[in-house]
Chains A and B, each alone.
Chain A
Amino acid sequence: MLPVADVVELSRLQFGLTAMFHFIFVPLTLGLSWILVICESVYVMTGQQVYKDMTRFWGKLFGINFAMGVTTGMTLEFQFGTNWAYYAHYVGDIFGTPLAIEGMMAFFLESTFVGLFFFGWNRLSRVQHLGVTFLVALGSNLSALWILIANGWMQNPVGAAFNYQTMRMELTSITEVIFNPVAQVKFVHTLAAGYVAAAMFVLGVSAWYLLRARDTGFAIRSFAVAAGFGLASVCSVIVLGDESGYATGEVQKVKLAAIEAEWDTHPAPASITVFGLPNQEAQRTDYAVRIPYVLGLIATRSTDKQVTGIKDLIREHEARIRNGILAYEALVKLRQGDTSEDVKRQFDRHQADLGFGLLLKKYTPNVVDATPAQISAAAHDTIPRVAPLFWSFRVMVGLGLLFLFIFGASFWFLARRNLAPQRWLLRLAVVAIPLPWVAIMTGWFVAEYGRQPWSISGVLPTFLSASSIDAGQVWFSLIGLITMYVLLFVIEMYLMLKYIRLGPSSLHTGRYFRETGTPAHSANAS
C-alpha cells in the first residue's frame, strides 16, 4: 500500500517547517560558539575583565538559543522514522551512519561541556574553562559536519549500491560518503553562513548599545569582534558558496539549470542570467538580462565545459526512466525468486536507473506497463518549479553582497577609529539582524525544494519515502508541532529581548549601566 498523497504532502510540509524552524537556532549556535571562544581567548591572554564579561553575556544569549536548538533538533531525528519510514528502511544502512557518528563524536561533546561552560566558571582554571568553551564550539561544528554529510548524500548518493534481497540501498564505501564533494561544499558554506548570522547578531545588538551610548566600552569591543569575524565569514560564504557544488550529482545539475533558468544547453562557457522572468510552460525566460561567460566560469571552473539546460536534462531523464523500467522488471523477477544469470545481468546493467523507474509508481503501480505519455510526464516531474528557485537564489546572493558591505564598512570605520559618527551604519546593522536568516532560509529552500521530486537524488522519489500512516495522524502532529513551536518561540523571543535590553547588567557584576547608572562604561575596564 503506497502512502496516500495527503500523508506525503503533509509530511513534507511538517518536515520543511520543522527543519526550517530548527535552523533558526542552529546558525547562531554555530557562530556564537566561536565568538565566545574569541572573547574568552582574549580574556585568558590579556586578563581584561571586560572580555570575560563579554564571554558570559553573549554566552547567556547563546544558552537561550541553544536550548531551542536542542528542543527542535529532536523532532528531526524522530521524523525520519515516524513520517518517512520507507526512506528509513530504504537508505538507513547509509544514512543512519553519519547521524549515529554525529551523536557519538559531536553532540555528546557539545552537550556534556555546555553545562560546564555555564557552571564551571568558579570550578575551573581560566585555561581549563577556555578549553571547555572550545570543546562546545568544536562539538557543535562537528555536529554540522556529520549532518551535512548525511544531507549531502541525499543530494549526491555516492558510495552505495542496491541490494535486491534486502530491498534497500547498502553502504559500499564510507570514505566516498564522507568525502562526497557535495557534502564538503555544503559543509563549509553552511558553517560560514552560520558564522555570518552570529556575527550580524552580535554586530547589530552592539550597534544598538552604541546608538544609545550604553556600556560603550563593552559594546565597541563586541562590535569589533563581530566585524572582524563577520568580514572573514562573509568572504568565505561568498567564495565557498559559488556554484562549484553543482557540477556533480544528477539533482545538482537540475538545480543549477533551474536557479539559472537555463532552458537550453549553450556552447561553453555559458552566460549568466542576472535577471528575467522564468516561464515554465513555454520553457523560456522572458526579459532575460545576460552576462556572457560568467556562468560557465563559475559552474564548471572552465571555459570549455557545458552547463546542461533543462530541456536536455528532461530528455536525458526520459532515457533513464526507460532504463529504470528494465531495472524494475528485473527486480520484480529477482524478488520472486528468479535469480537466473540473464535477469541478474539485466538488473546490474540498469540498476543505476532503478530510481528513475520508481518515478512511474505515481502513474502506474506496475511500472513496466507505463505508456509513453506517462514516461514523458514522469520525466517532466524531475524538473522542479523554476521561478521559486530562480528568485530564492537571487535573494540569497543579493543579501550576501549586502552583508559584505555592512561588515566591510564596519571594519573600515573601526580601523580608522571613526565608527561613532557613522550612525547610519549602526542603524543599518540593527535593522540587518534578521536578514542572514532570510538568506539562510532561501539557501536551504533552493537546496531542498530544488531536490524534488527526490528524497534521495536519482534513487528514491519523495512520494515513496513516506510512512504508510493515516493523514489524521500527521494532521495531529502538524497542528501540535506548530502550536508548541509558536508558544516556545514567543517565550524564547521574550527572554532574548529581555536579556538584550538588560545587556551586560544582567551579569550582576555591578559594573554596567543599569547598576551604575552611568551610561558609558569606562572603555579601559580591567
Chain B
Amino acid sequence: MIDYETLKLIWWGLMVLLMLGFALTGGWDLGVATLLPWVGRNDEERRVAINAIGPTWEGNQTWLITFGAALFAAWPLVYAAAFSVLYVALIFTLFALFLRPVGFDYRSKVEDARWRNGWDWGLFVGGAFPALVFGVAIGNLFLGLPFNYDDTMRVTYHGGFLDLFSGFTVGTGLLAVAMLTLHGAAYLYLRTDDAVAERARRAAIAFGLATAVLFGVLGFWLARLPGYQVVAIGDVNGVLTPMQKQVSHEVGLWFANFHAWPRLWLLPALGLGGALLAAAGAARRWRWLALAGSSLALIGIIVTAGAALFPFVLPSSVDPVVSLTAWDAVSSHRTLGLMLGVVVVFIPIIALYTGWVYRVMRGTVTVEQIRRETHTSY
C-alpha cells in the first residue's frame, strides 16, 4: 500500500479535484440559474435557458454530494467541525438547494404565469445563494473559525452566524457568485441563440471583468491579513491528532507557499488571465474561447485558494494549534487507501458517461425547439 504521507497528500489533491468537478459542471448550472430572471424576458426564453442545463444539471450536482460524502470519509474531522460550526449557514444553503430539483422538474408542469415566475425566482435563489455561501465559507477559512476541542475530541464553536460576515468574506462570497455567473453565462452563450445568447454574451463580458477585479483586490487584501503557517509538526507519515503541531499566525503568511515555490504564481495568473480571456472571447464572439476562459478562471482561482491554505484545511482562530490540516484531519491509512481505489476506478467511468450524455444532448437550444417540444421540455 502507498505510504500514509503520500496518501494524505493525494487526498488533498482529490478533494480539490472533486471541488473542481462541481465548480466546472455544477458551476454553470448555478450561474445560469443566477442569470435566469435577466437572460429570459418571457416564458419561452426562460425555458430556453432552463433546458440548456435541465437534462444534465442533476448529474453535475452529484459532484457536490460526492464532495460532501468524500469529506466525511476522507477528512472526517473537517466534516464534523465545518458542518457543525457553519450550522446556520449550511441550513440556509440547504433550503436554497431544495428549490433546485423541484424547481427544474415542477416549473413547466403547470401553465400559470405566477407559478412559473415563482419557480424562476426559486431557481435564482437556488443558484445564487449557495454560490454566495460557499464563497463566504472559503473566505472564512483564511480568517480562521473560532472552534476548539475538548479532551474527547469533541468540537465546540465560540461564534455566531453573523460573525461569518466581514468585509473580506463578503468579498470572497461576491467573487464566487461572479465567477460562477461568468461560467454560467459562457455556457449559456454556447448552448443558445438569438436574444438569450446575446444577453448571456454581455453577462459574460461583465462578470469576466468583475471576476478579474474582485480576485485582484482580494489578493491584495489577503496580503494584509494574518495568515497561518505550520512551524513544527509530528511525523506526517504517522497517526497525528490536530494537537501535535505548532502554528504561527502573522500578517502575510498566506503567501508563504508562493514565496517558497515561486512557480505557484502561475495559478493566480491563470485565474486572472482566464477571467479576462472569457471576457475577451465573449467580446469577440468566440463562444468556445469564452467557456475555455471561464473554466481556466475557475481552476486558477480555486487552486490558488487551496495552494495558499495548504496544508491547512480549516484553521482555528481561537487556538491555531488545533487548526485542521491535510496531515492531521484525515481518516486512517486503510480508509484513505481504500477510498483512493474507489476514486481511481469510478471517477474515470463517471467522466466517460457524463461526456456521453453531454454528446447525446448536444446542440443549440432554441425558442422554436421549446415550442415544438412544449410538453416534454422543462
Interface residues of A (CB under 8 A from B): 1-2, 63-64, 66-68, 70-71, 74-75, 77-78, 80-83, 85-86, 88-89, 92-97, 99-105, 107-109, 111-116, 118-121, 123-124, 163, 165-168, 170-172, 174, 335, 467-469, 473, 476-477, 480-481, 484, 488, 491-492, 495, 498-499, 506-508
Tell me which of B66-74, B180-188, B194-202 binds A.
B66-74
Alpha-carbon gap, A113 to B72, bound state (A)? 26
Alpha-carbon gap, A165 to B239, bound state (A)? 8
CB distance from B224 to the nearest CB of A (A): 32
> Known contacts A64-B106, A163-B332, A468-B156: does B350 contact A104 (CB below 8 Å)?
yes
8 Å CB contact of B72 from A66, A100, A112? A100
> Known contacts A103-B69, A112-B350: does B87 contact A469 (CB below 8 Å)?
yes
Interface string of B151-194 (1 = CB under 8 A from A): 11111110000000000000000000000000000000000000
Alpha-carbon gap, A113 to B356, bound state (A)? 10
8 Å CB contact of A78 from B81, B90, B110, B375? B90
Given contacts A96-B71, A105-B346, A492-B106, 15 further A-B contacts (CB under 8 A): A78-B91, A81-B83, A82-B90, A85-B83, A89-B155, A100-B66, A104-B347, A112-B62, A118-B55, A121-B376, A170-B334, A174-B338, A469-B157, A477-B91, A498-B110
> Known contacts A82-B90, A171-B338: does B74 contact A96 (CB below 8 Å)?
yes
> Known contacts A85-B83, A86-B80: does B110 contact A103 (CB below 8 Å)?
no
Q: Are A96 and B72 in contact (CB under 8 A)?
A: yes
Q: Can you offer 18 A-B residue contacts whose CB atoms are under 8 A?
A: A1-B156, A78-B91, A89-B154, A89-B155, A94-B335, A100-B69, A100-B72, A102-B69, A103-B62, A103-B66, A114-B58, A115-B56, A119-B54, A119-B55, A120-B361, A167-B241, A488-B102, A507-B375
CB distance from A33 to the nearest CB of B (A): 14
- Could you say which residues of chain B place their CB within 8 Å of the CB of A473? 87-88
8 Å CB contact of A74 from B65, B152, B331? B65
- Could you say which residues of chain A place their CB within 8 Å of the CB of B79? 80-81, 88, 92, 96
Q: Are B335 and A93 in contact (CB under 8 A)?
A: yes
CB distance from A495 to the nearest CB of B (A): 6
Q: Residue B360 at the A interface, CB < 8 A?
A: yes
- Could you say which residues of chain A place their CB within 8 Å of the CB of B375? 506-508
Q: Residue B28 at the A interface, CB < 8 A?
A: no
> Known contacts A75-B94, A81-B83: does B72 contact A115 (CB below 8 Å)?
no
Alpha-carbon gap, A175 to B290, bound state (A)? 48
Residue among B57, B94, B100, B347 with most chain A CB within 10 A: B94
Alpha-carbon gap, A68 to B103, bound state (A)? 10
Closest residue of chain A to B98, judged by CB?
Answer: A71
Alpha-carbon gap, A495 to B105, bound state (A)? 11
Q: Residue B95 at the A interface, CB < 8 A?
A: yes
Q: Which 7 A-B pairs have the closest CB atoms?
A: A81-B83, A92-B76, A96-B73, A112-B59, A96-B72, A103-B66, A115-B55
> Known contacts A96-B331, A166-B239: does B69 contact A71 (CB below 8 Å)?
no
Q: Are B156 and A115 in contact (CB under 8 A)?
A: no
CB distance from B83 to the nearest CB of A (A): 3
8 Å CB contact of B335 from A63, A171, A492? A171
- Could you say which residues of chain A place their CB within 8 Å of the CB of B106? 64, 67, 491-492, 495
Closest residue of chain B to A116, judged by CB?
Answer: B357
Q: Is the interface of B mostly helix, strand, loop or mixed?
A: helix
Q: Are A107 and B80 in contact (CB under 8 A)?
A: no
Q: Residue B343 at the A interface, CB < 8 A?
A: yes
Alpha-carbon gap, A102 to B69, bound state (A)? 9
Q: Are A335 and B151 in contact (CB under 8 A)?
A: yes
Residue among B91, B97, B104, B360 with most chain A CB within 10 A: B91
Q: Residue B368 at the A interface, CB < 8 A?
A: no
- Could you say which residues of chain A place their CB within 8 Å of the CB of B150? 1
Q: Are B105 and A96 in contact (CB under 8 A)?
A: no
- Could you say which residues of chain A place their CB within 8 Å of the CB of B342? 100-101, 104-105
Interface residues of B (CB under 8 A from A): 54-59, 61-62, 65-66, 68-74, 76-77, 79-84, 87-88, 90-91, 94-95, 97-98, 100-102, 104-106, 109-110, 150-157, 239, 241, 331-332, 334-335, 338-339, 342-343, 346-347, 350, 353-354, 357, 360-361, 375-377
8 Å CB contact of B62 from A108, A495, A498? A108
CB distance from B150 to the nearest CB of A (A): 6
Q: Are B360 and A120 in contact (CB under 8 A)?
A: yes
CB distance from A176 to the nearest CB of B (A): 12
Alpha-carbon gap, A2 to B157, bound state (A)? 13
Q: Are A81 and B84 in contact (CB under 8 A)?
A: yes
- Could you say which residues of chain A place their CB within 8 Å of the CB of B347? 104
> Known contacts A119-B376, A170-B332: does B101 contact A68 (CB below 8 Å)?
yes
> Known contacts A67-B104, A99-B69, A111-B58: does B343 contact A104 (CB below 8 Å)?
yes
- Could you say which residues of chain A place their CB within 8 Å of the CB of B59? 108, 111-113, 115
- Could you say which residues of chain B place their CB within 8 Å of the CB of A101? 342
Q: Are A92 and B62 in contact (CB under 8 A)?
A: no
Q: Are A170 and B58 in contact (CB under 8 A)?
A: no
Q: Are A467 and B69 in contact (CB under 8 A)?
A: no
> Known contacts A71-B102, A92-B79, A468-B157: does B84 contact A495 (CB below 8 Å)?
no
Q: Are B153 and A167 in contact (CB under 8 A)?
A: yes
8 Å CB contact of B76 from A78, A96, A103, A488? A96
- Could you say which residues of chain B place their CB within 8 Å of the CB of A88? 72, 76, 79-80, 83
Alpha-carbon gap, A121 to B91, bound state (A)? 37
- Could you say which residues of chain B place their CB within 8 Å of the CB of A121? 376
CB distance from A209 to the nearest CB of B (A): 20
Closest residue of chain A to B244, judged by CB?
Answer: A165
- Could you say which residues of chain B place their CB within 8 Å of the CB of A78? 68, 83, 90-91, 94
Closest residue of chain B to A70, judged by CB?
Answer: B101
CB distance from B149 to the nearest CB of A (A): 9
CB distance from A365 to the nearest CB of B (A): 10
Closest residue of chain A to B56, judged by CB?
Answer: A115
> Known contacts A93-B335, A172-B334: does B84 contact A115 (CB below 8 Å)?
no
Residue among A1, A107, A114, A499 with most chain B CB within 10 A: A107
Alpha-carbon gap, A495 to B109, bound state (A)? 8
Alpha-carbon gap, A95 to B79, bound state (A)? 12
Alpha-carbon gap, A68 to B90, bound state (A)? 19
Alpha-carbon gap, A66 to B104, bound state (A)? 12
- Could you say which residues of chain A place their CB within 8 Å of the CB of B100? 71
Closest residue of chain A to B238, judged by CB?
Answer: A165
Q: Are B65 and A77 in contact (CB under 8 A)?
A: yes
- Could you say which residues of chain A place their CB within 8 Å of the CB of B154? 1-2, 85-86, 89, 468
- Could you say which residues of chain B place their CB within 8 Å of the CB of A508? 375
Closest residue of chain A to B375, judged by CB?
Answer: A508
Q: Are A112 and B353 in contact (CB under 8 A)?
A: yes
Residue among A86, A113, A166, A477 with most chain B CB within 10 A: A166
